[in-house]
């Protein structure tokens, strides 16, 4: 069983006026076999949490710990965190002209597994993942994220997830920009991943629509850079009905969306 432990995490960013604290003491434990949903208004620090855990240089850790199976992630480089079993599906994945989807995915698989898969085996594995996500075969030869629609970017993120098989997956607003059909396909991919082995999911979202397909075990409400309420799936339904107005007093700081 794998466990991601976040203890009293404080994170800041540099601004024109100096350092501004975004996360103000986050405590959270994600175990394999469980799905945690983080919900909250824009600017509450949800994406900051994801990028700080993954090692984005924009964010400075000013206090706390992040452990994956007892190992200190904050002492690792970004690629070491990935090899340790951490995965981040970004809200806005970057374009990489000149690098095909196929070459990118094989390089990523090689880096995480420690050896290059045989071309024939990888081609079969890639085709299976693409078929499951209703991705056309020509997609593999396109430049990474270049000219991709929102739905294509999200499907590609889930394809990565299925091929890399991390211990803990952080999915940052995976439902953003998806139509109903794409949302269903992407959700099915997440469900295949989370039931395929010893894995845990941290799903960041504004809305409950993806939670109708990907059922969370726990829901955490973010406001003002910290978790202000926790519960089960019923908490997400209450948020859908009531919104986040009740937490307005907790939003004493605004994080980048």
Tens of pLDDT, residues 38-83: 999 888 999 999 999 999 999 999 999 999 999 999 999 999 999 9
What's 226's domain CATH number? 3.40.50.300
User: What pLDDT does 257 receive?
Assistant: 41
9: in domain? yes
Phi, psi of 134 (to 5 degrees): 55, 45
139: in domain? no
Q: Which domain holds residue 76?
A: 3-93+166-250
User: What pLDDT does 249 receive?
Assistant: 64
User: What pLDDT does 254 receive?
Assistant: 46
Over the Cα atoms of the chain, what is R_g?
18
Strand partners, 219: 37, 231
185: in domain? yes
* CA 236 from centre of chain: 18
121: in domain? no
130: in domain? no
d(CA 8, CA 24) in angstroms, rounded, equals 8
User: What pLDDT does 251 receive?
Assistant: 46
Task: Please state the domain count of the chain.
Answer: 1
**pTM of the entire structure?**
0.90
Q: What are the DSSP calls for 168-223, one per residue?
A: EEEEESTTTT--HHHHHHHHHHHHHHHTSSS-EEEEEESSSTGGGTS--SEEEEEE
104: in domain? no
Residues of the chain with pLDDT under 50: 251-257
User: What pLDDT does 256 receive?
Assistant: 45
198: in domain? yes
Q: Please answer whether residues 68 and 84 qualify as being in contact, where contact means their C-beta atoms are separated by less than 8 angstroms.
A: yes
136: in domain? no
């Amino acid at each position: 069983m794998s466990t991601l432990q976040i203890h009293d995490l404080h994170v800041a960013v540099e601004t024109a006026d100096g350092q501004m604290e975004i996360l103000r003491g986050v405590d959270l434990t994600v175990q394999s076999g469980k799905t945690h949903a983080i919900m909250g208004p824009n600017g509450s620090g949800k994406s900051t949490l994801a990028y700080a855990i993954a090692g984005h240089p924009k964010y400075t850790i000013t206090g706390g710990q992040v452990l994956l199976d007892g190992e200190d992630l904050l002492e690792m480089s970004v690629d070491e965190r990935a090899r340790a079993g951490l995965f981040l599906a970004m809200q806005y994945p970057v374009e990489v002209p000149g690098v095909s989807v196929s070459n990118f995915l094989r390089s990523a698989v090689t880096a995480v597994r420690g050896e290059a898969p045989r071309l024939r085996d990888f081609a079969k594995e890639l085709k299976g993942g693409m078929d499951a996500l209703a991705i056309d075969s020509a997609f593999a030869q396109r430049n990474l994220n270049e000219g991709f629609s929102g739905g294509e970017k999200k499907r590609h993120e889930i394809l990565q997830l299925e091929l890399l098989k991390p211990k803990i997956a952080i999915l940052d607003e995976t439902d953003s920009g998806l139509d109903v059909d794409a949302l269903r396909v992407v959700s099915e991919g997440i469900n295949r991943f989370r039931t395929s082995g010893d894995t845990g999911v941290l799903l960041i979202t504004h809305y409950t629509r993806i939670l109708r397909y990907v059922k969370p075990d726990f829901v955490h409400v973010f406001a003002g850079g910290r978790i202000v309420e926790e519960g089960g799936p019923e908490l997400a339904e209450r948020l859908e009905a009531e919104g986040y107005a009740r937490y307005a007093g907790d939003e004493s700081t605004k994080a980048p969306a």
